[in-house]
Structure 1
Amino acid sequence: MKNQEIEKIISEFSRWRENLYNGLNARKETLIELIDALSSNQQAASVVELSLNPLFRRDYNSLYKGIQEFLPHQNEKSYLEQINRLFDAAFLTINQEKSRNYNLLGIDTTPYPRAYSATLADRTFIHSPNPIKGNKPISIGHTYSVVCALPDRNLTGNVPWVVPLSGERLQSQEKATHVANQQLKKIIKNSLFPAKQLSVLVVDSLYSQRDFIGEQVQHENLIPITRVRSNRVFYRQFISQKGDSPSSGHPRWYGDKFDLKDETTWTNPDEVSQCFFTTKKNRHLTVTISAWQQMLMRGTKNYKMNQHPFTLLQILVKDEAENLIWQPMWLIVIGQNRHQLSLVDCYQSYRQRYDMEHFFRFGKQRLLMTAYSTPDVEHEENWFKLTLLAYVNLWAARHLTTILPRPWEQYLKTNESEKITPSLVQRDFRRIISTLGTFASSPKRRGYSCGRIKGYKQELRTRHQVIKKTQKNQLSKVTTS
């Protein structure tokens, strides 16, 4: 790279570091070193082991105090101000240059298992994948909802990078769609978010409910793309023909039924498109996208979905022998400006949603995202948000990374490469900070604590029962009796 390009990259990284440092409130220097230690972690398997990292020059008790005092939960105004400052710092790391004409966002939830933490409040049964065949994919703990910006794959070398913007814990009686609505509302209202530009939101079938889609269609320049289950039933939009006599009573909204599991109810698609791609194993696949325009779903009193027609997509992936690779995938594309996207754009945008799965996997394996065991819910939330900042730290430093291959990694080149992954950045992050420096000053020991007063007895923590969510039919019986 030229000297001017290097100076520009260093300047952008320094700006992120400065915004991050200014976004922190209490114990800035401890937290900035903790984030750096997490970003360069290669050996620590627990949170306390991060205190042995060379980039963390303080004692292990400072590490815990930094986590505990990271966010002021007692003062809601100060809490929201600091969250907004950290969001601004993370959002400014996104390169606005892109080959597509829209911004891409993704939302998903991830489990935080705490099966053996009896003194932790608000635990409930959560979905947690189980690799053992036959076992139920459940655990006990918390669930977190995360909103990420999905950068243009053409500019990241086709590496599944994301930029986490928000991470909130779902309370035991909260729905994921309700929390996601609140997160998106805060992000879109932020002054840095380009609300006047076209934005696409990709989500899985959990968010295909009316209480989520009905809220998102109110944003003029937002196009939600959500997957739907293959047993859903939709309707064609009813269009009255000329010459039909006006009928008395309620006007008709819904036309013929469109049952996804019954092919006899399907009509000919309004548009069909194909694209081709080759896998890493040199397997040639054909993607056929069929689209039905002006479709409707049943609404409710609060969400009149008859006013919001959508485009229904069916995705078929076949190999060279015309064999179906996966089961057909159904997508909903809704929004006022949905026609500005081609069918291929819709499919490729939804495919990029899986980058969040790579992010969660990397966060739990390398950033200790679910390794912090604490009986305090607020401290756990603080730690989860710190791991999100550590990932943004790696994202901001990706252009400064030098590839350091291990002896058995002969496929990695030591020179410049387009495929800079989060693992490679984490491997070289210590050198980057040691070269460019940090905002944290050297620690000064203030003496030794005298410890607890003799005879002091610590009270036992309250043990909490696991909360089991009540089904709707059971809840109605309780309220009527």
Structure 2
Amino acid sequence: MISVHDAGAIGALGDLSRFRQEFYQCLAARADALFELTDAVLCADGPVTSLVELSLAAEHRRGHGALYDSLNSGRVDIDRFRDVVARQSIPRCDNGRITLAIDVSHWLRPDANTSPDRLFCHTYARGKGQAQMIPGWPYSFVAVLEPGRTSWTAILDAQRLRPDDEDTAVAAAQLRAVVERLITAGHWHEGDPEIWIVGDTGYDGPRLAFLLTDLPVRVLVRVRSDRVMRLPAPPRQPGTAGRPARHGAEFTFTDPATWPEAAHTTNTQTTRYGSARARSWDRLHPRLTRRGAWADHDGPLPILEGTVIRLQVDRLPGDGTPKPLWLWSSATAATTGEVDRSWQMFLRRFDLEHTFRFLKQTVGWTKPRIRTPEAADRWTWLIVTAHTQLRLARHLAEDLRRPWEKAATTPDRLTPARVRRGFRNIRPTLTLPASAPKPSRPGPGRPPGSRNTHRAAVSHVGKTTKKDTTNQQTP
């Protein structure tokens, strides 16, 4: 129960009710049905296994026909709703720093040959080296990370990747829009610490840093262990003829003989990984060539310097053999404390994996068999709305644990699944802007014995744009 004397609970109740009212105002068509569908996701008993069963929840007062009609014909003002999400309270790390994590999660649709805009999604199998490429819709998520080990993140944006999209360019545009909304919402002011952006090996860190150079951000990504970077160019000697060198000696990750003396070396004792030894080298940069994303770059190619960090731990959870972890940060002249904070913050990026697991296994993000990608986008944003409401209700829910589950030490340690378990008890105290359904009769449907003469077109999977000429390296 929520005590009337608990000022924090009353404030959280007001924030959650305000968010629900603003979310309802962003629903431009089929607003009542979409709003009640979101409440059904939050209040359903157990994990969501199918879309039609949500119409049986008490919070969904409409039939299953209205449920599918809201997803297929409804309309959500996504741009307006992005601003609503950005105005909510967000977690912060040390010194009030905001840390954003970006990653892609796949909605696999291998049998939906009539669904357009599908791409081949890289998925891992159980065996070693058994990765597969399965058709589906990839979605890029941007979320704010919390300090410490937790399963909570604050999702700020979700965008479906289309066949003609260039991954790094789309990620840069998405991050730029998120950072600008955070600044507009007042979460960052002049003089505050830089916003950190954390990504995995799928992102080109130097390219992201170049595209976001005018924003107060610092890029931190993991790089492959077989990369080769360049040291700073040596100073030009007097009387040397020819063009000055732009790159120094090679820094090969797999060859310790090419490593100069590290700028910083730290050794941190952890309870999960044992001894964590970090070494960093300053002002390392990749040697760019005019191909791929840099093929149409005007002028000379830039020198994108940063800090390279090598992390080695004693053990990993389970039976995994520890391998060195390589990171690239867009910051130069990093101190010893910043090096330690960098690899520790990168480990917090894996909290986003807990969010993806919750979205897929508990609230059923990828369970519906939706045909059109537009309906998939609406359902995705309903799931983001449900997750945001659970985050705002963290301090309002009771710990309705199972007999075999451990009790939470503090209310803020409740997982998203436990908060959802008690959301049905919170809902009567919140704003319910959706109106009651009007009685109506179902349509006649297709006449018996008639055939469907409007067959759906079969859509191909993968990239659809063909280049006239191949990219060639210019001498």
TM > 0.5 between the two? yes
* Cross-structure match for 1:333: 329
Give the alignment partner of residue 476 of structure 1, picking from 457, 470, 474. 470
Which residue of structure 2 aligns with residue 276 of structure 1?
A: 269
2:278 corresponds to: 289
- With the length of structure 2 as denominator, give the TM-score of the two structures: 0.87
Of the candidates 153, 171, 186, which is equivalent to residue 162 of structure 1? 153
Residues 109 and 176 of structure 1 are in contact (CA less than 8 Å); yes or no, is this contact kept in structure 2? Answer: no
How far did residue 338 of structure 1 move? 6.0
Moved more, 427-436 or 36-45: 36-45
CA distance in 2, matches of 1:299, 1:387: 40
Q: Distance in 1 between matches of 2:107 and 2:356?
A: 11
Amino acid at match of 2:210: G
Amino acid of the structure 1 residue aligned with 2:438: K
C-alpha distance 286-189 of structure 1, shift in aligned 2 (>3 A): same
Aligned partner of 2:61 in structure 1 is 57
Moved more, 89-98 or 415-424: 89-98
Supply the AA of the counterpart residue of 2:371. P
Partners of 2:333 and 2:312 lie apart in 1 by 25
Aligned amino acid, residue 58 of structure 2: P
**Displacement of 1:300 after TM fit?**
3.9
Structure 1 residues 308, 271: closer, same or farther in 2, change over 3 A? Answer: same
Equivalent AA in structure 1 for residue 28 of structure 2? N
Matched, 1:443 2:437: yes
Number of the residue aligned with 1:75: none
Do residues 92 (structure 1) and 81 (structure 2) align? no
Q: How do residues 188-227 of structure 1 correspond to structure 2 at under 5 angstroms?
A: 188-190=179-181, 191-192=184-185, 194=188, 196=190, 197=192, 198-208=194-204, 210-216=206-212, 218-227=213-222
Distance 1:227 1:133, change over 3 A: closer
Structure 2 partner of 1:307: 303
Q: Distance in 1 between matches of 2:277 and 2:471?
A: 47
Whole-Å Cα distance in 1 between the matches of residues 313 and 238 of structure 2? 45
Q: Distance in 2 between matches of 1:32 and 1:340?
A: 49
Aligned to 2:229: 234
Q: Counterpart amino acid of 2:401?
A: P
The answer to whether the 8 A contact 1:90-1:163 is kept is no
Report Cα offsets for 1:304-361 as digits up to 9, x if no partner: 66533101101111259xx995100010010479669711211121111111111111
Pairing 1:40–2:43 present: yes
Return closer, same or farther for 1:117/1:258 CA change in 2, 3 Å cut-off.
Answer: same
The alignment partner of 1:356 has SS state of helix
Distance 1:374 1:51, change over 3 A: same
Q: 1:226 to 1:16 in 2, by over 3 A?
A: same
Of the three residues 132, 137, 155, the one matched with 1:137 is 132
Aligned equivalents of 2:285, 2:129: Cα separation in 1: 38
1:52-104 residue CA offsets vs partner (Å, 9 max, x unmatched): 112111111111122223436xxxxxxxxx22321122222234665433210
Match of 1:386 among 382, 385, 390: 382
Q: Aligned partner of 2:439: which letter?
A: R
Q: 2:262 aligns to what SS in structure 1?
A: coil
Report what 1:180 is aligned to: 171
> How far apart are the structure 2 equivalents of 1:195 and 1:151?
20
SS in 1 for 2:75: coil
How far residue 240 of structure 1 moved from its aligned partner, in angstroms, is 0.9
| C-alpha RMSD of the superposition | 3.0
Specify which of 429, 439, 457 is matched with residue 423 of structure 2.
429
After TM superposition, the structure 1 stretch with the greater mean CA deviation from structure 2, 58-67 or 356-365, is: 58-67
**Contact kept? 2:199, 2:349, Cα under 8 Å:** yes
Q: Which amino acid aligns with 1:6?
A: A
The CA distance in 1 between the partners of 2:249 and 2:289, in whole Å, is 19
The answer on 1:6 being equivalent to 2:2 is no
What is the distance in 1 between the residues matched to 2:441 and 2:256?
Answer: 76
Indicate if the aligned counterparts of 1:188 and 1:195 stay in contact, CA closer than 8 A: no
- Taking every aligned residue pair, what percent have the same amino acid on both sides? 26
CA distance in 1, matches of 2:335, 2:169: 27
Structure-2 separation of matches of 1:132 and 1:264: 34
- Using a 3 Å threshold, how does the CA distance of structure 1 residues 96 and 351 change in structure 2: closer, same or farther? closer
1:50 partner letter: L
2:364 aligned with 1:373: no
Equivalent pair of 2:283/2:332 in contact (CA under 8 Å): no
The 5 Å alignment of 1:397-412 reads 397-409=393-405, 411-412=406-407
Give the Cα–Cα distance (whole angstroms) in 2 for the partners of residues 118 and 319 of structure 1.
44
Match of 1:263 among 256, 260, 263: 256
Q: Secondary structure at the match of 1:237?
A: coil
Paired residue secondary structure (2:346): helix
Which sections of structure 1, spanning at least 5 residues, go unmatched?
73-81
Query: Residue 352 of structure 1: SS of its match in structure 2?
Result: helix
Give distance in 1, aligned partners of 2:239 and 2:73.
67
For residues 312 and 332 of structure 2, the distance between their equivalents in structure 1, rounded to whole angstroms, comes to 26
Residue type of the alignment partner of 2:196: V
Letter in 2 for 1:297: P
| Aligned residue type for 2:57 | N
CA positional deviation for 1:250: 2.6
1:147 corresponds to which residue? 142
Alignment partner for residue 347 of structure 2, among 345, 351, 360? 351
Cα distance in structure 1, aligned partners of 2:6 and 2:459: 59
Aligned partner of residue 140 in structure 1, secondary structure:
strand
Say which SS state the counterpart of residue 93 (structure 1) adopts: coil
CA deviation after TM superposition for structure 1 residue 456, in Å? 7.8
SS in 2 for 1:205: coil
State the aligned residue count: 453
1:422 to partner: Cα distance: 0.5
**Structure 2 counterpart of 1:174, one-letter code:** D
Q: Does 1:250 align with 2:243?
A: yes
**How big is the shift at 1:256?**
1.6
Q: Provide the rounded CA distance (Å) in 1 between the counterparts of 2:454 and 2:195.
A: 52
Specify whether residues 267 and 379 from structure 1 end up closer, same or farther in structure 2 by C-alpha distance, changes over 3 A only.
Answer: same
What is the one-letter code of the residue matched to 2:140? S
Q: Which amino acid aligns with 2:286?
A: M
Residue identity matched to 1:181: A
